[in-house]
Amino acid sequence: MSGASEIYPTLIRNAAVVTPDGIIPQGYALINEQGRLASVGTMEGQGSLPSVERSVDACGGWLLPGFIDVHVHGGFGHDFMDAGAAELDAITRFHAAHGTTTMLATTVTASQAAISGVLSRVSAYRQQVMPFATLAGVHLEGPFISPQWPGAQNPNFIEPPRKDWLEAWHTQYPGLIRMLTLAPERDGAPELIEWLTRSGIVASCGHTDASYEQLTAARKHGLRHAVHTFNAMTGLHHRKPGVVGAVLDHDDVSAEIIADGHHVHPAAIRLLTRVKRQDNLLLITDAISAAGLGDGEYSLGGLDVMVKDGVARLRDGDNLAGSTLTMLGALRFMVEKVGIDLAAASRMASWNPAKLLGLAQTTGSIEAGKQADLLQLTPALELERVWIRGREPQLGL
């Protein structure tokens, strides 16, 4: 599947441009031939803007930075656990068509061999020109999680922390693993968290039975992120604050949220947005292969999943099994149901994940010199155009 396109110097004008310094109501962005933003500003007083090969009139719509999804398992019928190059094209194309310009290929709890296969295939894919959303690396969700909180992870493959596995993977694929989710209360977890931190890998908690005190202690070893907050972790009680209480209490622990109205009540998300105000709240999809398709039977990590009315659950039991969410859907939910403004929602979908992954120097915001990862939306938040590294991939929008 080919989606590569040429980079054309492009002027996007008459847009409400969402920047780190605020919204430019009548703004423009100029993409140069290197696929970067040459300049960003207001059209007022500019006189005649530079003549370029392409000029796009946004007609008063929004111009946002592309979304960055740090937790996504697949989409459009494919799963990162067994995806080859063609399937990786299909996954990244689907999510790009819903505004994601950068993503982490996220695994599930599986065997060492299965995870090694994902790393091998994603590493090879990254050696070529990626025609759709950029795979910035891999997020290992498990297998070092709590047997008490498997969620939709396959309990047959849960392992105690194995630093030797990570050392071998990191040696073979340096820089490929960007995040690892584990249960920090398990024996050996503190040492692994310290190693991850030294190696530049985000240490994240999830599927965890930790107490408030254990999570707080894990911070001292380098843990700094929590996956799908509220889900698959000890909850908030006024005498036992649990993982949720620790995540809420500590500004240096960033939090993900699945904003689909099924995983977390809008009121709980609203409370989270009032606490996490330091660039430390991220929108994610946790999307599985069913995203973009209809109701029916699917699989996640060898477990049978049923999707009904767009909600994915394990066939055996009532556990939610990832989502069918897109980042554009998450952004709209935050604006329309949670009630936050678009600039704040955009920050959660782009800037905050860029900072977490160490990508903020190149992407995640609309600023001169940065990669032209851009989304043009109508005033009603319908996606019209996508630019990834200055190119407009063929997405069928």
Q: Which of 79, 286, 295, 316 is catalytic?
A: 286
3-class secondary-structure state, position 374: strand
- Hunting for tokens 């609203």 — which residue is that? 270
Phi–psi pair at 307, nearest 5 degrees: -110, 120
Residues 6+ apart with CB under 8 A from 139: 70, 71, 104, 105, 106, 107, 178, 179, 180, 181
| Residue 151 backbone class (left: φ over 0; alpha: ψ -120 to 50; beta: rest) | left
Is the sign of the CA dihedral 40, 42, 48, 54 positive or negative? Answer: positive
Cβ atoms of residues 326 and 93 within 8 Å: no
Q: Which two tokens stand for residue 333?
A: 């939910």
Q: DSSP state, 240? A: -
Q: Is 316 a catalytic residue?
A: no
Query: Strand 177-182 and strand 134-141: pairing?
Result: parallel
DSSP 116-160: HHHHHHHHHHHTS---SSEEEEEEEE-SS--TT--TTS-GGG---
**Residue 61 in 3-state DSSP?**
coil
- Strand pairing category for 10-19 and 374-377: unpaired
- The catalytic site residues sit at 286
